[in-house]
Amino acid sequence: MLTPDSKNKKAISRTITIGIVLVIIIVIAIGGYYASTTGPSSTTTSTTPTSSISPTTSSSISTTILPTTTSTTSTSPTTSTSAAPQTLVIDDASWPFGDLNPLGTGTWPNWFQFTEYQPLVSINDTAEYATGQIQYLPGLASNWTVSSDGMTYTFNLRHGITFSNGDPLNAYQVWLEAYANYYLLGNSSGWLLSYTVFNYTNVNFGSATVSIINQTGGVLNPTGQGLAAMENSNWPIYVTSPYQIVFHLGAPFDYFPALLINFGIADMQYALDNGGFGTAAAPNTYFNLNAIPGTGPYKVTGISPQAYVEFSQNPTYWGRNMTSAQIAGDVLLDPGHVANVIVNYKSDDLARYTDVSTGTAQIAAVEAADWPLVISNPSKFSYTVMPPWAMFVSFMALNTNLYPTNNTDFRLAVVHAINYTDIISKAFLGEASPFVGPEYPAYTQYYDLGNSPGYSFNLTLASQYLTESNVQNPTITFRTLSGCEYCSIIGQIVQADLGQIGITVNILIVPSGTFANPYGSYETDVQNAAQLGNLALIGSDGAWAPDALTPADNWVSFVSNESFFGNFAGYNNPIVQACVNAFTSTTNTTYIQALCTKAQTQLYNDAPYAWLGVLRLWDIDGSLVWQKGVISGFALDPVFSGETTIPMFNTVTFG
């Protein structure tokens, strides 16, 4: 998934469609071949090779991404490693908030996904970034089938895979990690990226279950009560054999494989042997600084908190002998091209720029403060730019549970008093385009279904709404994080704009390490409303990329009363919730569209968010930078930085 400074942008005729259409292709690997699944009936695999990517002929997934027609340069990984150093150094601007721990709330940026922790389902990263196609591929699962009703997914795991410490991968490992996350997130049915796709009515999983498993063979050779729990088909996730695991959904959801792409599998036996999981209130912090082994091409060999993580190639990696053709089929499985990788956390932008400029680091995140030094030297530097179908947005939450932004007319006054063009020009360096949320424009079947116009910059209209709100001499707080230049610029623009209609805005700058602390689930955001301020940019850094590649993603994150994280506005409306629920309860596109059209109108009229723009630069006001002639290519996060901010370093090639 590589995005260079020039991209394949292909124009789509507006007489055909507006925006990008997402085509979903589900591919199963059989031996050395790939075969497409063909529809809603019980899926079987075939050994017929395919020479090109094409949509399935009777897929129940009708949301399709057509490539646009504007040409771009690809920076996909190549096989050349003639100039590869012994150690690859990457400078990032963020430190993983969960350190090394993949369990429970996990970590972001997740430097370990795909490089150490691999999922059951992979994705054709190259096709996604080059053409906009979303194509599921086998990961740790060699193949899977889907029942005729679309509710039961059966995954067959590859045989002979071990974690980097030698423990075998099996279905029991996957089972325990799924339920451990469910347990660590307070037995939340939305543990999987806020998607409530499972029915946990019959589930009784807790510390007693973990204790039983520990006493009956763990996950390497489970017996007795432990094995019985894993094979309990009354639970939504259960094991049928050492290499087969079943996920039974509460309702059909065609995009379910997408939820597993960022569900990296870690060694649960190691977790059991090192104190277990802890509880939701007190998780085991041992794993914060002691990495649970993974199956991926690299393993953690050193850490200095808030400074760096060191990785080395995994000598027992199951894909270490993949051919060039096999790697080209799924670059995320690449065994890597350097022996060691060091990922540095450096908060100072000049330090990161200096490192990449002098060759101390091969790749670095460079942001606004030093961005002119990059773009003024095009003969030396290349940098990442998102493709036009990227799902990477910025918007501002208006706290619906704190006076005076709990007043709908007041919120409408705010959203019409903001100069969005000014924000795009000054904060995003002109590298953004307007949108109407919550849906990403890429999902044209569900984007702006009510044809709502974007909120206009109209001070007369804003003043009328302010008068209708009956809020006198209002003063509100804009909460932002320190060290974020574009956040500061947005705050100043909003402060000046709202001042023109008589709203005083106090900018509260919060240390980046504590900015996200009051946020959590929908219930948490409502409970902590007083701590959140009236206005705040979404996410921990003012931007948002998806948790999963589904059209439901922003709906379940931002406007659902079952959101695990993302509903910064603390917003809830039954008309909108009906749309949210429909995504994971039916495959009837027409029905979903009908509900979401009503929801879109309701959201527009309620104004819980001010939609700022779809972003083009990987780091919002800057990007990943490398020297030409040093780096020849790499792949990027399938969810456009929603999982990690650095390249998939096992795919970095040189020269």
**What is the SS3 string spanning 170-217?**
CHHHHHHHHHHHHHHCCCCCCCCCCCCCCCCCCCCCCHHHHHHHHHCC
pLDDT beyond 70 at 23: no
Q: What angle do CA 324, 329, 330 make, to 5 degrees?
A: 100
pLDDT beyond 80 at 457: yes
Helix (H/G/I), strand (E/B), else coil: 2: coil
What pLDDT is stored for residue 571 in this prediction? 98
User: Strand 623-627 and strand 381-383: pairing?
Assistant: antiparallel
For the stretch 409-427, pLDDT in tens is 999 999 999 999 999 999 9
Phi first, then psi, for residue 534 (nearest 5°) are -85, -40
Q: Which helix (H) or strand (E) holds 167?
A: none
What pLDDT is stored for residue 21 in this prediction? 35
Phi-psi region of 491 (alpha: psi -120 to 50; beta: other; left: phi over 0): alpha
Lowest mean pLDDT among 50-54, 446-450, 546-550: 50-54
Per-residue exposure over 46-71, b if at least 16 CB sit within 10 Å of its own CB, e if not: eeeeeeeeeebeebbbebbbbbbeee
Average pLDDT score over residue span 217-233:
98
Asked, as a colleague might, if the bond just before 404 is cis with ω within 30 of 0, I would say yes
Asked, as a colleague might, if the bond just before 438 is cis with ω within 30 of 0, I would say yes
For the stretch 499-510, pLDDT in tens is 999 999 999 999
For the stretch 284-309, pLDDT in tens is 999 999 999 999 999 999 999 999 99
pLDDT beyond 50 at 461: yes
What pLDDT is stored for residue 348 in this prediction? 95
What pLDDT is stored for residue 293 in this prediction? 98
For the stretch 563-614, pLDDT in tens is 988 999 999 999 999 999 999 999 999 999 999 999 999 999 999 999 999 9
What pLDDT is stored for residue 63 in this prediction? 27
What pLDDT is stored for residue 321 in this prediction? 96
CB 194 within 8 A of CB 562: yes
CB 654 within 8 A of CB 83: yes
- What is the arrangement of strands in the sheet containing 141-146, beginning at the earlier edge strand? 141-146, 152-157, 244-248, 237-241
Average pLDDT score over residue span 226-235:
98
For the stretch 314-341, pLDDT in tens is 999 999 999 999 999 999 999 999 999 9
Max CA pair span of the chain: 72
pLDDT beyond 60 at 554: yes
Residue 80's alpha-carbon distances to 84, 336, 352, 633, in angstroms, are: 9, 12, 26, 10
Residue type, position 228, single letter: A
Domain map of the chain by residue range? Answer: 24-62+117-273, 296-387+621-654, 393-615
* CA dist., res. 477 & res. 533, Å (int): 5
For the stretch 132-166, pLDDT in tens is 999 999 999 999 999 999 999 999 999 999 999 99
For the stretch 240-294, pLDDT in tens is 999 999 999 999 999 999 999 999 999 999 999 999 999 999 999 999 999 999 9
What pLDDT is stored for residue 541 in this prediction? 75
Mean pLDDT, the chain, as a whole number?
88
Question: Which residues are paired to 653 by β-bridges?
Answer: 633
Question: Which residues are paired to 303 by β-bridges?
Answer: 309
Beta strand extents in 51-157 (DSSP E only): 87-92, 121-123, 134-138, 141-146, 152-157
pTM: 0.85
pLDDT tier at 483, thresholds 50, 70, 90? confident
> Tell me, which fold does domain 296-387+621-654 have in CATH?
D-Maltodextrin-Binding Protein; domain 2 (3.40.190)
CB 123 within 8 A of CB 136: yes
- How many residues are given for the chain? 655
For the stretch 54-101, pLDDT in tens is 222 222 222 223 222 222 333 455 444 457 899 999 999 999 988 999
What pLDDT is stored for residue 6 in this prediction? 29
Structure tokens at 593: 């569209």
What pLDDT is stored for residue 46 in this prediction? 28
pLDDT beyond 90 at 25: no
What pLDDT is stored for residue 424 in this prediction? 97
Q: Does domain 24-62+117-273 have CATH number 3.90.76.10?
A: yes
Class of domain 393-615: alpha beta
Task: Give residue 643's Cα distance to chain centre.
Answer: 4
